[in-house]
């Protein structure tokens, strides 16, 4: 037991953890170039164990960071000694622990979403990677007040009521990921279908990448007095919303990824990419965007790999790209809202200060020892 404790708090364990983190960062960076930022993050940095080649287990960043954090914390407590010589060492340990705490805070409270823009288009809304919502509104496409509810709150027993609209919404079928089928001979009277003509779903296993999941659901929309109702299907890939008429009122209903407003409007002006010679792996890609804030301030900036754009706590990373059926280039940004984003800066400063103090102390006392021996 004593040997285990010594190994747990030893400098060798610290070095091994730092080496493993270096391997994970390099591995994840290479993986990101082909598979995108989100999958790289999920596989290497949000996991406890990685199966290399699908077979060989390798420690993920979670287990390495927890081990490193406990190693540093216990080392500080056990090896703590009062005295001026320990000031630098203590500051280094405190800085490293603060850095790990910053990562923990980000993991618990950070918001992760994405924004996909075709050249010339813009938005002030970001979409969640994992969660979906049902949105209901009245009015035009340009001016509308949207009421939205997370799909997890919908069920066949109670559902959700929208008092402002005088409507109840419930779902008696929901697939997190599914295939959708249309009918070649067209729809018949009384058929239940989605806006794109889908009349049947086949449940599929959720994909490892939540961005690839396409849910489907069968919903019932009815007035609170139960006099008018409509049952229809919603599919995550429907381009247009369902248009439902109840009495004299028309409503638009859409199944979409959960959305969050951001305090700026961002428009993609131009997207550029470069490949490695003789290969289809992207060497670099970057987006020229125009940013408009709520104060109507406009500016242009470039978002590229490893050079994100930051604004009021939000960070926009160049994550991936694609082309639509018309050949237009689409740029996707990973967007994070990180409440612990300042902790790494403080941690780095404290760690750097501790190292400087420690080396100056070593230099001073070595010279003092030499003078005493002369």
| pLDDT tens track for 168-209 | 898 888 999 999 998 766 656 667 888 888 888 999 988 767
- Give the integer Cα–Cα distance in Å for 135 and 145: 10
**How many domains in the chain?**
3
Residues 305-333: pLDDT tens digits? 888 998 888 899 998 888 776 667 889 99
Classify the C-alpha dihedral 57-60-62-63 as positive or negative.
Answer: positive
Tell me, yes or no, whether 352 and 316 share the same domain. Answer: no
Which of 206, 235, 259 is where one domain is finished? Answer: 259
Residues 348-367: pLDDT tens digits? 888 888 888 878 887 877 77
Per-residue tokens: 150? 């997370």
Tell me, yes or no, whether 6 and 90 share the same domain. Answer: yes
Angle CA 367–370–371, to nearest 5: 85
Q: pLDDT at position 264, please?
A: 92
Q: pLDDT at position 177, please?
A: 92
- Give the integer Cα–Cα distance in Å for 215 and 177: 4
Q: pLDDT at position 277, please?
A: 72
Domain that holds residue 67: 2-109+341-373
Residues 104-147: pLDDT tens digits? 777 676 778 899 999 889 999 999 888 899 999 987 655 678 89
Report DSSP letters for 147-183, one per residue: EEEEGGG--SSS-EEETTTTEEEEEEEEESSEEEEE-
Nearest residue to 200 via CA among 178, 221, 220 = 178
With b meaning 16 or more CB within 10 Å and e meaning fewer, what string describes 286-314? bbbbebeeeeeeeeeeebebeebbeeeeb
Which of 213, 233, 259 is where one domain is finished? Answer: 259
Tell me, yes or no, whether 138 and 56 share the same domain. Answer: no
- Give the integer Cα–Cα distance in Å for 40 and 43: 5
> Across 306-365, where does the E strand assignment appear?
309-311, 314-323, 329-337
With b meaning 16 or more CB within 10 Å and e meaning fewer, what string describes 231-259? ebbbbbebeebbebebeeeebbbbbbbbb
Q: pLDDT at position 354, please?
A: 83
Classify residue 247 as left (phi > 0), alpha (psi -120 to 50) or beta: left
Q: pLDDT at position 158, please?
A: 65
Tell me, yes or no, whether 255 and 143 share the same domain. Answer: yes
In the predicted structure, residue 344 carries a pLDDT above the cut 60: yes
Q: pLDDT at position 140, please?
A: 61
The pTM score is: 0.63
- Choose the most confident range, by mean pLDDT, from 4-8, 160-164, 229-233, 303-307: 229-233
Q: pLDDT at position 342, please?
A: 76
Tell me, yes or no, whether 161 and 251 share the same domain. Answer: yes
Which of 216, 241, 259 is where one domain is finished? Answer: 259
The CATH code of the domain that includes 297 is 2.60.98.50
Tell me, yes or no, whether 333 and 356 share the same domain. Answer: no
Tell me, yes or no, whether 36 and 92 share the same domain. Answer: yes
The rounded percent of the chain whose pLDDT value lies above 90 is 20
Residues 70-81: pLDDT tens digits? 777 777 677 666
| Cβ within 8 Å of residue 67, ≥6 positions away | 13, 17
| Predicted confidence band of residue 280 (pLDDT cuts 50, 70, 90) | low
DSSP 206: P
Query: Which carries the bigger pLDDT value, residue 263 or residue 323?
Result: 263
Tell me, yes or no, whether 142 and 237 share the same domain. Answer: yes
Q: pLDDT at position 3, please?
A: 62
> Mean pLDDT of all residues in the chain?
81
């Amino acid at each position: 037991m004593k040997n285990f404790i010594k190994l747990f708090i030893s400098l060798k364990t610290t070095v091994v953890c730092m080496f493993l983190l270096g391997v994970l960062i390099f591995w994840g960076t290479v993986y990101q170039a082909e598979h995108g930022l989100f999958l790289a993050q999920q596989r290497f940095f949000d996991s406890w164990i990685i199966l290399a080649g699908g077979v060989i287990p390798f420690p993920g960043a979670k287990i390495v960071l927890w081990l490193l954090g406990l190693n540093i914390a216990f080392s500080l407590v056990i090896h703590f000694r009062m005295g001026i010589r320990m000031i630098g060492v203590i500051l280094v340990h405190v800085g490293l622990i603060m850095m790990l705490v910053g990562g923990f805070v980000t993991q618990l409270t950070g918001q992760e979403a994405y924004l996909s823009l075709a050249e010339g288009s813009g938005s002030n809304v970001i979409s969640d990677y994992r969660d979906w919502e049902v949105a209901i509104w009245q009015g035009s496409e340009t001016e509308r007040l949207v009421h939205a509810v997370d799909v997890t709150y919908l069920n066949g027993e109670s559902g959700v009521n929208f008092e402002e609209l005088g409507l109840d919404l419930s779902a008696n079928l929901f697939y997190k990921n599914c295939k959708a089928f249309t009918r070649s001979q067209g729809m018949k009277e009384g058929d239940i279908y989605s806006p794109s003509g889908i009349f049947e779903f086949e449940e599929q296993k959720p994909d490892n990448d939540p961005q690839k999941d396409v849910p489907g659901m069968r919903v019932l929309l009815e007035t609170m007095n139960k006099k008018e109702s409509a049952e229809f299907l919603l599919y995550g890939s429907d381009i247009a919303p369902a248009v439902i008429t109840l009495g004299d009122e028309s409503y638009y209903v859409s199944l979409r990824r959960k959305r969050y407003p951001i305090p700026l409007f961002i428009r993609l002006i131009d997207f550029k990419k470069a490949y490695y010679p003789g290969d289809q792996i992207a060497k670099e890609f970057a987006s020229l965007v125009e940013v408009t804030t709520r104060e109507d301030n406009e500016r242009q900036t470039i978002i590229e790999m490893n050079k994100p754009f930051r604004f009021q706590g939000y960070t926009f990373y160049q994550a991936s790209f694609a082309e639509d059926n018309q050949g237009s280039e689409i740029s996707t940004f990973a967007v994070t809202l990180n409440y612990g984003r300042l902790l790494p800066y403080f941690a780095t400063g404290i760690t750097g200060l501790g190292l400087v103090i420690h080396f100056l102390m070593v230099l001073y006392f070595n010279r003092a020892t030499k003078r005493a021996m002369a």
